[in-house]
Structure 1
Amino acid sequence: MLVCILICGGTLVAVVLERRLALLGGGFSTEDDGLLDDWVLEQVPVPRPKVCFVPTASGDAPAYVEQFFGAFRSRSCEPSVLHLFRRELDDDALRAFLLSQDVVYVGGGNTANMLAVWRAHGVDRLLREAFDRGILLCGISAGANCWAEGSHTDSFGPLTHLRDGLGLLSGSVCPHYDSEPGRRSSYQAAVANRALPAGWAVEDGVGALFTGGLLTDSVTRTSRACLYRVQPGRDGGVEEQAMQCRLLGAAQKPTSIA
């Protein structure tokens, strides 16, 4: 937690800036109900939050960008996109643009390629600065992987571990835990043999909010989806703990813990 001292009308005011990020198992690119995207916007206490979509992992795919605008133009927010493959902003303008946002929403694609491009343009450093300033960072798939120390990825073809990330969230992340063949067993094996540190496995349909490095909210758009804490267990195995998730939508009931 950071405290920023501001002067308002000659009075010193202390403003608490919390470091927050969210892991998404869905959103505008995979679902039509908009529940997870609405949940993201609810985390920002301003009337029309500025939401910047970062599609680097997909190579700034035009169809992905249009899908984002199609979903967020109708919401009470100010959507924008950061293009890096056809970059137009100089360093100062890029920094000013990112730090003016309320939400940075990172899309899916190739985690390893995305991190390399970010570092070439200094975006990794700017995202750390945004995080320190209390800007909400979130994303799906590669956009969830990137915030942790390591992740489970298919960036190189077969599923494998990637001990590379921004490290804003301690441990590791595994997306698509329930929907892609081999994800669950491969991630558990990586955690069991210490190729990846203990971490969070995100099933499709789940959202997890971390504040100051701690899990402070977990939600799901379907009663079948869950968030798991996966860590090394005894005798070379793993321990998988299902976290209680609030069900989004009309029911608003927590899912049971397996």
Structure 2
Amino acid sequence: MSAAPVRRHRLALLGGGFSTDPDGLLDDWLLGHARTARPKVCFLPTASGDDPGYVERFLEAFRPRDCVPSVLPLFRRELGAAELRTFLLAQDVVYVGGGSTANLLAVWRAHGVDRLLCEAYDGGTLLCGISAGANCWAEGSHTDSFGPLTHLPDGLGLLPGSVCPHYDGEPGRRPSYRAAVADGALPAGWALEDGTGVLFEGGRAAEAVTRVPGAAVYRVTPDGTGAAAERPLPARRLAR
């Protein structure tokens, strides 16, 4: 009797992708970690209110690739509960777009998508996203969902700790996130500069990559003196 296949818990945080990068390197890297050669890739544009332009950019970027792209709208939901579960659990990759982290979490919970994504994660689906789509997987995050930059001690909790996107790309991100980690408003976590990506397996960083020379993913922790320390992860440079 053969043993059941081992299913890995995998998440990828992206500091870029089809919506920001012209070269497609991060998205190609992401698809290279899918569990099948021609993966089913579902885009969740919830954080942007299912913005039609954002959806079209995703489809334009992924239709030419060797994958099966789809989109799950929730503001005009079309699937019933059973169909929604079947659809999400069949995906090899779930790719979450940017926007409002707080709104994304609220809408997912209203539709039960949060529970389904946790089930998909347990089944081996690769979960990933950019900005709010990176924040949502952790226990907490650094966000502008409420206007000014602040901490949000809320998320699905699939990734231990916290996440900060746009670490070098938006004024105030770095000092504000470091302050939140230093004073315990957010747990220690991961900060992504634009142009980077990091894959987690079993909650641990397995690989960091960058398409921008010098850009990095950082581990940010309290330093015991009331401040925070940051340590860059070794990163592989992506290129054609």
* Band of TM-score, shorter chain: over 0.9
Take 1:187 and 1:18, find their aligned partners in 2: how far apart are those partners? 30
- Name the structure 2 match of 1:127: 117
Quote the offset at 1:224 in angstroms: 2.1
2:16 to 12, 19, 26: 26
- Name the structure 1 match of 2:149: 159
- Name the structure 2 match of 1:46: 36
- 8 Å contact from structure 2 (residues 35, 92) kept in 1: no
Which of structures 1 and 2 has the larger relative contact order (alpha carbons within 8 angstroms, sep 6+)? 2
Cα root mean square deviation, aligned: 0.8
Number of residue-to-residue matches in the alignment: 240
Asked if residue 168 in structure 1 is aligned to residue 158 in structure 2, the reply is yes
Counting aligned pairs with the same residue, the percent is 69
Amino acid in structure 2 at the alignment position of 1:77: C
Take 2:33 and 2:156, find their aligned partners in 1: how far apart are those partners? 22
SS, match of residue 195 in structure 1: coil
Runs of 5+ consecutive residues of structure 1 not aligned to the other structure? 1-10, 251-258
- Name the structure 2 match of 1:214: 204
Asked if residue 234 in structure 1 is aligned to residue 201 in structure 2, the reply is no
Amino acid in structure 2 at the alignment position of 1:136: L
Quote the offset at 1:47 in angstroms: 2.2
Take 2:183 and 2:38, find their aligned partners in 1: how far apart are those partners? 46
Runs of 5+ consecutive residues of structure 2 not aligned to the other structure? none
- Name the structure 1 match of 2:96: 106
Take 1:144 and 1:173, find their aligned partners in 2: how far apart are those partners? 7
1:42-78 CA distance string (max 9 Å, x none): 0014221000000000000000000000000000000
Q: TM-score, normalised by structure 1?
A: 0.92
Take 1:155 and 1:14, find their aligned partners in 2: how far apart are those partners? 42
Quote the offset at 1:172 in angstroms: 0.1
1:182 to 172, 190, 202: 172
Take 1:48 and 1:241, find their aligned partners in 2: how far apart are those partners? 35
1:132-169 CA distance string (max 9 Å, x none): 00100000000000000000000000000000000000
The higher radius of gyration belongs to 1
Take 2:112 and 2:46, find their aligned partners in 1: how far apart are those partners? 13
Amino acid in structure 2 at the alignment position of 1:209: L
Take 1:197 and 1:142, find their aligned partners in 2: how far apart are those partners? 17
SS, match of residue 76 in structure 1: coil
Take 2:229 and 2:16, find their aligned partners in 1: how far apart are those partners? 25
- Name the structure 1 match of 2:236: 246
Take 2:177 and 2:192, find their aligned partners in 1: how far apart are those partners? 11
Asked if residue 198 in structure 1 is aligned to residue 182 in structure 2, the reply is no
Amino acid in structure 1 at the alignment position of 2:113: V
1:169-223 CA distance string (max 9 Å, x none): 0000000000100000000000000000000000000110000011001000011
Take 2:48 and 2:149, find their aligned partners in 1: how far apart are those partners? 18
- Name the structure 2 match of 1:97: 87
